Amino acid sequence: MKKLLDLILSGAPLAIVGGLAYAGIFIKPQPQGSAVEQPVFERGEGYYGVSVLDQGKAWVVGSNGKIAVTEDGGASWQKQATPSRAALQDVAAWDDQHAVAVGNDGIVLITVDAGRSWQSVDAPKSEVANKLLRVKALPGGTAWAVGEAGMVMRSTDFGRSWTRVGGDEDVGWNDIVATGGRIWLVGEFGNVKVSGDDGVSWRAIETPVETSLMGLAFKDAENGVTVGLGGVVLTTRDGGQSWEQQQTPSSEHLFSVLWEGSRWIAAGASGVILVGGDEGRRWKETRLSELDRNWYTGLARQGDKYFFSGSQVAVVGATAL
């Protein structure tokens, strides 16, 4: 009996190993529970540009080639697949089907099907630097984009093809606005330029600052505001022929500005939001919340809501500011 017991025990390890091998090959584990869905907005990401349309639709674009869309005024968001990992700096939409996004490495993406698909298109490149910083969509399929090394380029076919306007310059253009039949540029070192012939020729406009100007908006053909680093705010009341610096309550960098029908809104670093009166002479500082220290580079209004894009995407009621 003892010999029989010893024989059985001596074979036990082999039986166990064999059983485990059988289980590993033929027994498949059944999944338990459901997969955790990855959030649309993740910690550490930046969303640099925002474009809004009517009926609640808006796009935001940002780091790692990411694009997100909302159809319900920001209540919910969905990711859209893109063919690039390059950071996207800005987005502009003509309608709910056609939009264009631009960013690092001269990347230009367009959609013609509401963002169900985005495709990369060829665009002019510089031998110096190729970050595209802002893009604006105009009626009829026209778009303008600006960026580093003096890049200014134009499309007339919903972003499918692009033509460079002018050559390399030792200045980066940070924003572009079309108003009153003119195209305006603002950029590094306090530079402002204007063209009245679709970029064939440009005229430099003197400003009282040498800091970088980051955002530009016009109330009408005569009245405009540009904002920049160090809390700089400049206003014009003569169609941009002269610019006057205004006193502001903050020295935080300002990246974007908007005329929203009755007042000016500027967004910037450390959660700072500036609200200015009709003439842009008096400004007050506020935040989306008391403890907000996020930075915001994109700003748009949709009905009774403001959309902010930056180190977070925020949607707030117009009466919140």
Confidence tier at 9 by pLDDT (50, 70, 90): very low
Q: Which stretch of DSSP H or E encloses residue 286?
A: strand 283-286
Mean pLDDT over 283-300 rounds to 98
For residue 222, give the DSSP letter.
Answer: S
Mean pLDDT over 122-137 rounds to 97
Given this chain, do its domains 43-149 and 171-321 carry the same CATH topology?
yes
Distance between CA atoms of 196 and 192, rounded to whole angstroms? 14
At 37 the pLDDT is 60
Q: Do 189 and 208 touch, CB atoms closer than 8 A?
A: no
Q: pLDDT digit string (tens) for 219-275?
A: 999 999 999 999 999 999 999 999 999 999 999 999 999 999 999 999 999 999 999
Alpha carbon dihedral 84, 267, 179, 58, in 10-degree steps, equals 50
At 131 the pLDDT is 98
Confidence tier at 38 by pLDDT (50, 70, 90): confident
Q: Closest Cα partner for 267 from 218, 222, 233? A: 233
Q: pLDDT digit string (tens) for 165-200?
A: 988 999 999 999 999 999 999 999 999 999 999 999
Report the topology of domain 171-321.
Neuraminidase (2.120.10)
Confidence tier at 34 by pLDDT (50, 70, 90): very low
Q: Do 183 and 197 touch, CB atoms closer than 8 A?
A: no
At 188 the pLDDT is 98
How many degrees, rounded to 5, is the angle at CA 138 between CA 72 and CA 226?
90
Question: What are the residue boundaries of the structural domains of the chain, listed by start?
Answer: 43-149, 171-321
For domain 43-149, the CATH superfamily is TolB, C-terminal domain (2.120.10.30)
Q: Is the pLDDT of residue 296 over 50?
A: yes
